[in-house]
Amino acid sequence: MDVKQLLQTLTETPGPSGQESPIAQAVTTAWTPYVDLLMTDALGNLIGLKKGDGEAPRPRILLAAHMDEIALLVTQVLAYPDENGYGFLKVTKVGGVDTRQTLGQQVLVHGQRELPGVIGCLPPHLLPENRRSKPIGFEDMVVDVGLPYVELKQLVGVGDFVSFRQPLRELHNGRVAGKSLDNRASVAAVTVCLDWLRGRKHSWDVIAVATTQEEIGLRGAFVAAGGQQPDLAIALDVTWAKGPLAQDGGLTFELGEGPTLGYGPNIHPGIYKGLQEAAAAIELKVTPEGQPTLSGTDAAALQIARAGIPTGLICIPQRYMHTMVETMALNDIERTGRLLAEFIARLDGDFLNQLNKSLMDG
């Protein structure tokens, strides 16, 4: 599997939280060769089922990687200097958009048809002197697609989404940079896992889910877990990578040194142990990542869905999160997929009994 090519397709495809249809189509194409069934649910989650070879009824493991991305939303269509002039869009953020990173970006406006645009503001030369060194907010920025107001207002309305445009770029040393690696990298890792499982026997059914609306409240994970009712679940997401501007103290992790395994109240200790054992079996380095409270990932939703689901968490280190130059190591994505496949292949009929025992034993 060409992970870089897959990642390029996934990251360059739009999919704002709440309008994930384009990215769902791309994931459908990627997963079709590996699963027995594909479906979507009421919230737009894409669900792929890969059947195990155990005796029915088989236990089920759910893998959750969110496919939505941070984006913008149109709040106003402006005319300048009047309705006979040009049109501009005012926007607000969808999810955790870092306003500092927004100015000067290329975007795609999802109106009646897709419109390429840029985010601009007044240059410092035209600002009052007392404002030239102050932060720029959404109130100071507009999206400019180059159309007259009369035409723009027919194509774009309040509530339309605006996604960021950024190609995936290859850096040195096996690194890549671009937008939406949070969390399309995890979707790619699930795809790698499914590819590995084609050559491995596994007795459990695997439910791969590209979840929606994670960036605005983990909504897709709640719905997917409730609808699929798995016996256990593993969430995949990104975590903070080390760099010269990042704090340390155990909160950041090396690029290219493998994924992290979440551990804490949000994580079932039996699954954490099982992932450690799977990593050891294939001599793959993993690093514990303490999660003292809710992890801020789909794992937080999966764990408490319905009557509760034993949940694990695997994260891939990433620099510059929630920017247009998110940076990762390709081998971390590949290793995450292989770890998942090894864990799934090791699941047997006694795993759930041992899982319950591990919780009772503390």
Q: Which residues are catalytic?
A: 214
Q: Under a CB-based contact definition with an 8 Å cutoff, are residues 79 and 165 in contact?
A: no
CA distance 258 to 187: 16
CA–CA distance, 79 with 69 (Å, rounded to integer): 29
CA-to-CA distance for 109 and 244, rounded, in angstroms? Answer: 35
CA 5 remoteness from chain centre? 17
Residue 175, exposed/middle/buried by CB under 10 A (0-12, 13-18, 19+)? middle
What is 121-173 written as a DSSP string?
---GGGS-GGGTTSPP-GGG-EEE-S-BHHHHHHH--TT-EEEE----EE-ST
Question: Is 321 buried (19+), middle (13-18) or exposed (0-12) by CB count in 10 A?
Answer: middle
Distance CA 270, CA 250 (A): 23
Q: How many CB atoms lie within 10 A of CB 51?
A: 14
Give the C-alpha separation, 201 to 344, whole Å. Answer: 9
